[in-house]
Amino acid sequence: MVGCDLARMALVAGMAVPAGPFWAPCTLLAAAELLSAPFGAARAALLPEVLPDDRYVVASAVSNVAIQGGQLSASPPAAGWRPCSAPRPPWPSTR
């Protein structure tokens, strides 16, 4: 779980590098999203181990609401792909 998060952190940090071809940040974004599936599976498997039966249902619901609320409040739909579709400014400046 921690390894997936650290790998996703490195991939997202790599997207901040302005130099490079256009497809590089798009590829890093896709790889980071592929790592979210093992993270979610590990989180779902760990939750019943930590909480007793009655609290598991409530904690699972609260966790899902928090995750989905964070996704909705962070950006409008499809804004995650906006950096891949927007034209990049010339580096260095041509003036």
Query: What's the predicted TM-score (pTM) here?
Result: 0.56
pLDDT of residue 79: 53
The pLDDT of residue 10 is above 90: yes
How many residues would you count in the chain? 95
82 within 8 A of 29, measured Cβ to Cβ: no
Rounded to whole angstroms, how far apart are CA atoms 78 and 85? Answer: 11
The pLDDT of residue 41 is above 60: yes
φ/ψ (deg, to 5) at 86: -80, 145
Rounded to whole angstroms, how far apart are CA atoms 46 and 51? Answer: 9
- C-alpha dist (Å) from residue 73 to 12, 33, 65, 86: 19, 18, 12, 21
Mean pLDDT, all residues of the chain: 79
